[in-house]
Amino acid sequence: MRMTVPTPLGDIAVRCLAPVPGARPGGAPAPSGAPALLLLHANPGDGRDFDAVLPALADRYRTFVVDWPGYGGSTAPDPGRVTPEGLVGVAERVIDALAEEQGVRELAVLGNSVGGYVACRLAEGTRAASLTSLVLVDPAGFTRHTALTRWFCREVMGRPARARRLVVPLARAYLGRLGTPSARETYARVRELPHDERRLAVHCALWRGLADPGFGLVDPAALGLPILLLWGTRDPVVPAFLDGRRARRELPAGTSSVRLPTAHEPYNERPGLFLRHVLPFLENPRAVTARSVRPPSRPRIR
C-alpha cells in the first residue's frame, strides 16, 4: 500500500507495510506492543535503498518508508527549495498524516545520513512526544563546520556542473563492496542521477543546505529517548574517527553505540549484521540502551 502526503516541497510518497499474520518463524504473531517504524533515507537515494532489510523490519512492525522530495515516487516542483531543514518539515507532515490516516500515535524512526539528521531534529521538535526511539545510521549533523567543509558543500557537491562528475564515484565509495543485490540496485539508480536534471538539482540543494548557518542540532545531549547509533568504520562521507566520535560524545550518555565494518549504508552492505543490532533494539530499546551505558572510567594514576 502507498499513501501520498502533500507538503510545501512536493507530494511525498510513503510505502506502508504491515506485518503479515503467520509470516514470522513458527507462525508467531508480530509483537502486540511494537511501535510503528518510519524509515528515512540518505541523499541521493530513495526508500528502495532499504529493500535488503525491509522484509525483516516489516515482518515485525508497521513500517513506513518515505521518499524524499524529488526522489523515488515523490515530486519536487521547485528542486532548489529542498533543504535539510525542509526535510524536517516534510517528515513532520508525514507523521501527522500517519496519525490521521493510519492511526499511528507513536513510532520509532530509523534514519541514514541526512535522514538521521532529520530523525534527531524530529526528536528536538514538536513531534518528539510521538517518538519512541531513534536508530541513527551514519547521521549527518555532527561534522564540524570549517571554511573547507562549507566550500565543499556549496561549491563542489552543491553545484550541478561539478557534482555531476563526482556523485557516481562518491556513491561507489560509500556503498562499499556492492556485494548485495540491494547495494548494486542502489548504485544503478545513482548512476542515472547525472542525467536527471531534477534529481541532480535536489541532490545539490541538499548539499548546499548542509552549509547553511541554520543547519545543525540544537542540543543532541538533551534528546530524551533511547538511541541506537550505528557507524560504518569505512565511511568516506562522514568518517567514524571524526563525525562518529563527535556523535558519540555529543549524544546522551545512554546512547547505544556500535561500529560496523562497513561504509555509509550498512543496511545495504551487510544487511544481516545490521539487523542483528537493530532488531533487538527495536524490540526493547530501553533495555538495550540501559545495558550499553558504561561506568565512568577510573582516572589514571600518573
Contacts of 129 (CB under 8 A, 6+ apart): none
pLDDT at 33: 45
What is the residue type of 162?
R
Q: What mean pLDDT do residues 283-290 have?
A: 75
Q: Which of the four pLDDT bands, split at 50, 70 and 90, describes residue 18? A: confident
Asked if residue 285 has a cis previous peptide bond (ω within 30° of 0), the answer is no
Instruction: Give the C-alpha separation, 197 to 182, whole Å.
Output: 24
Instruction: Give the C-alpha separation, 117 to 41, whole Å.
Output: 10
Give me the residues paired with residue 230 across strands. 137, 258
Angle (nearest 5°) at CA 226 between 224 and 229? 115
Instruction: Give the C-alpha separation, 158 to 190, whole Å.
Output: 16
pLDDT beyond 70 at 244: yes
Q: What mean pLDDT do residues 246-267 have?
A: 96
User: Which cell goes with 232?
Assistant: 560504518
Q: What mean pLDDT do residues 124-130 have?
A: 95
pLDDT beyond 50 at 268: yes
Instruction: Give the C-alpha separation, 72 to 202, whole Å.
Output: 12
pLDDT at 246: 97
Q: What is the pLDDT of residues 67-117, one digit of tens each?
A: 999 999 999 999 999 999 999 999 999 999 999 999 999 999 999 999 999
Instruction: Give the C-alpha separation, 150 to 212, whole Å.
Output: 8
What is the residue type of 184?
R
Predicted TM-score (pTM) of this structure: 0.91
Q: What is the pLDDT of residues 149-205, one digit of tens each?
A: 999 999 999 999 999 999 999 999 999 999 999 999 999 999 999 999 999 999 999
Pairing of the two strands 131-137 and 256-260: unpaired
Whose cell is 542502489? That residue is 186
What is the residue type of 62?
R
Q: What mean pLDDT do residues 27-51 have?
A: 80
pLDDT at 25: 46
Burial of 185 (0-12, 13-18, 19+ CB in 10 A): middle
pLDDT beyond 80 at 301: no
Whose cell is 538533551? That residue is 222
Please write down the HEC assignment for all residues of the chain.
CEEEEEECCEEEEEEEECCCCCCCHHHCCCCCCCCEEEEECCCCCCHHHHCCCHHHHHCCCCEEEECCCCCCCCCCCCHHHCCHHHHHHHHHHHHHHHHHHHCCCCEEEEEECHHHHHHHHHHHCCCHHHEEEEEEECCCCCCCCCHHHHHHHHHHCCCHHHHHHHHHHHHHHHCCCCCCHHHHHHHHHHHHHHHCHHHHHHHHHHHHHCCCCCCCCCCHHHCCCCEEEEEECCCCCCCHHHHHHHHHHHCCCCCEEEEECCCCCHHHHCHHHHHHHHHHHHHCHHHHHHHHCCCCCCCCCC
Mean pLDDT (the chain) is 91
